Structure 1
Amino acid sequence: MDAKKIAIIDLGSNSTRLVIEELHSDRKYQEVYRVKEDTRLSQNMGTDLLLRPEPIRRTIAVLKDYQKIISGFTVDQTFAITTAAVRTAKNQKEFLDQVLDETGIQFRVLTGQEEAHYDFLGVQAALPDVKAGIILDTGGASVEVIPFENGKSAAEVSLPFGAVNLSEKYSLASDIDLQDVQKASLAIQADFSKLDFVQNFQNHPIILLGGANRSLAKMAEKQALVQKSKKLHGFMMPANQVTEIFNKISGMSRSDREHLAGLEKSRADIIVSGLLPVLNLIKVFTAPQVIFSESGVREGLIESFFETEEKKEL
């Protein structure tokens, strides 16, 4: 495969990202450009699962900016993917048609299983020394859970809850009633306990993806709970320190969370809900530690692209 430059637009439930990558024939790649905006597309979708006008407006505005950025690079191909919010939206077609009409971008809506599979490919390529564990990707409106061992996934599952919709459903955005935290935890644990691989993956580490989980690592460093790491990728934290951080922030006011070291102010209303999946996955799987990965769905998409290009050359 000749060297190529590709753009990936990842339209998530909470944020929209653009990365431009230079791909090389040896399956190596180099990031040329990266940007993220908190578009919060899944905001106020509610039980009727409709994308609302204001989140749509701000998302399309960001996508227009991204198109301008991409036009400033010479890219061979643009991949535009979207996940849980659009996947579950009853007005999905209307939204995608509007995006195409106003920006010229045609999105591929990933199924939950496809999203989980790309997460797996991304983690496997980036953390080859981790031989077994459970990958958890916490997004705004879904979580992906992928148990793996010796280079193979045992399942690739997506569940329809995440940082944004949990925050809205259980009133976890501002000053928090711990009874609401308990209700949310019990519901999450019930869903995790139904997974048919629970018994086979007890006492395995959890590999964490997603913005809420990255915030967890940064808060741990800022509060000196763990030794400062030169990079987030591959960073390990004992499970009991996840609980310690969660207990601290869930007892804080929203205003205090907005000024918490290591936490982006824009995440203050969804950080408690965003950490509930990992907190409860640790309990269900009695996980001893978590490992942070900066490689996930976008990197998995690149790995899949390499595989496709190699097959063409055979």
Structure 2
Amino acid sequence: MTQYAIADIGSNTIVLLVYEMVEHYPTAILHISTPAHLIDYVDRDRIMSKEGIHKATEVLQSYADKLDEMQVQYRFADITEPCRIQNKEELVASLQTTGWDIYPLSGNEEALYDFLGTKYSYPNLTNGIAFDVGGGSTELISFKNGQPIDAMSFPLGCVRLRHLPIDTPECEREILSARREYPSLNISCEELIGIGGTMRAAGKVYQALFHEELTIEVTKLQEIFDKLCMHDPAFEAAMKANVDPSRQPVFLPGLHMILEIARIYHAKRILISKTGIREGFLQIRLEENKLM
């Protein structure tokens, strides 16, 4: 069966996934995640240091070597927030030396691919709001009749939030600004769709504590946040047992953003999507290359 590789170059991690299409559904047969924290190599002038560029290139080359061993022909790499920098061309040129097809994504493209990927998990989506709290940015998507209406991104994610006070008002300001700019986002929504690694990590901790899957009650998620802020031993143990060590320092900031989104949207529940940007990105690449 033909295999397809996706490298997702994000602010916090660089992820390799190898998929096979099983009955038109992308099924992962390999998953490797490498903590890179690329956003920490970007200065205030939005320039990534040579050390950061080298680190990203080194990880991507290691993935290429792995794919050579597996004889995987089709390889597509997306770059999200780490490529929204002044020296973007320098970063892309370095990454291209590894033999990958490189696709820098705008914030709106990232949000759109998030939504397309989510439809693999929830094919019957009708009307509502989806979100993805990433390392360097957060995406908000409104959809109606199963189609995206607005897909936008703002540059505030869990890695950046780590450097701010845990009760920072920056989350609220960005969400309210997005709702003003995009009228379709300015609604109430009792049930949200949560996408991405921050949401899935929250879901694992939630499941360990409350033994419930996929659907998260916002009041219970708030309890997790409050208990972690108070350094409750049982809740800290659950977080450490279920969240990858590289993600633990940014877990609480990411949870704060999720809860701010839920509060502003008056949401009572969050549905966790098992699929997202990578699957959406793969879908578009397969269609473009007539591989579907």
TM-score by length of 1: 0.82
Q: Tell me if 1:276 matches 2:256.
A: yes
Please tell me the residue identity of whatever aligns with 1:15. Answer: T
Q: Are 1:90 and 2:77 an aligned pair?
A: no
Deviates more, 1:267-276 or 1:137-146: 267-276
Between the two proteins, what is the percent identity of the paired residues? 25
Runs of 4+ in 1 over 6 A off after TM superposition: none
Q: Which residue of 2 aligns with 1:176?
A: none
Residues 1:151 and 2:146 are matched in the alignment: yes
Query: Which of these residues, 32, 53, 56, is aligned with residue 56 of structure 1?
Result: 53
- Aligned residue for 2:160, secondary structure, equals helix
| Match of residue 115 from structure 1 | 110
Corresponding residue for residue 196 of structure 1: 183
Distance 1:141 1:65, change over 3 A: same
Distance 1:42 1:183 in 2: 21
Q: Which amino acid aligns with 2:135?
A: G
Correspondence for 1:214: 200
* Aligned length in residues: 288
Shift of 1:228: 4.1
Coordinate RMSD, CA, aligned: 2.5
For 2:226, the aligned partner's letter is: N
Q: What is the TM-score when the length of structure 2 is the normalising length?
A: 0.88
Deviation at 1:306, TM superposition (A): 4.7
**Contact conserved, 1:83 with 1:109, CA < 8 A, in 2?**
yes
Deviation at 1:53, TM superposition (A): 3.8
Summarize the Cα distance change of 1:51–1:251 in structure 2 as closer, same or farther, 3 Å threshold: farther
Contact 1:7 1:21 in 2 (8 A): yes
Q: Which protein has the bigger strand share?
A: 2
How far does residue 244 in structure 1 lie from its aligned partner after superposition?
Answer: 1.5
Aligned equivalent of 2:4:
6
Structure 2: unaligned runs, 5 residues or longer: none
Paired residues of 2:142 and 2:185 also in contact (CA < 8 A): no
Q: Would the aligned equivalents of 1:221 and 1:227 in 2 still touch at CA under 8 Å?
A: yes
The CA distance in 2 between the partners of 1:92 and 1:121, in whole Å, is 26
- Which residues in structure 2 correspond to 1:166-245 (within 5 Å)? 166-168=161-163, 170=164, 172=165, 181-194=167-180, 195-199=182-186, 201-222=187-208, 224=209, 226-229=210-213, 235-245=214-224
Q: Alpha-carbon deviation of 1:263?
A: 2.4
Alpha-carbon separation, structure 2, partners of 1:206 and 1:51: 34
Deviations 1:235-293 (A, max 9, x none): 0011112221122223439xx95873322222232112212321111111111210111
Q: What is the CA–CA distance in structure 1 between the aligned matches of 2:148 and 2:241, rounded to whole Å?
A: 36
Query: Which string of whole-angstrom CA distances, capped at 9 and with x for unpartnered residues, describes residues 63-98 of structure 1?
Result: 121011110123231111111111x21121112222
Change in CA separation of 1:23 and 1:76 when aligned onto 2, cut-off 3 Å: farther
Q: Which amino acid aligns with 1:299?
A: E
Q: Which amino acid aligns with 1:47?
A: R
Contact 1:192–1:284 under 8 Å retained in 2: no
In the alignment, the residues of structure 2 paired with residue 146 and residue 4 of structure 1 have an alpha-carbon distance, to the nearest angstrom, of 32
Structure 1, unmatched stretches of 5+, are 173-179, 230-234
What are the superposed Cα offsets for residues 192-220 of structure 1, whole Å, 9 maximum, x if unpaired?
44242244x31341111122211111111
Instruction: Find the aligned partners of 1:89 and 1:67 in 2 and give their Cα distance.
Output: 24
Conserved? CA contact 1:113–1:158, under 8 Å: yes
Q: Which of 263, 267, 279 matches 2:247?
A: 267
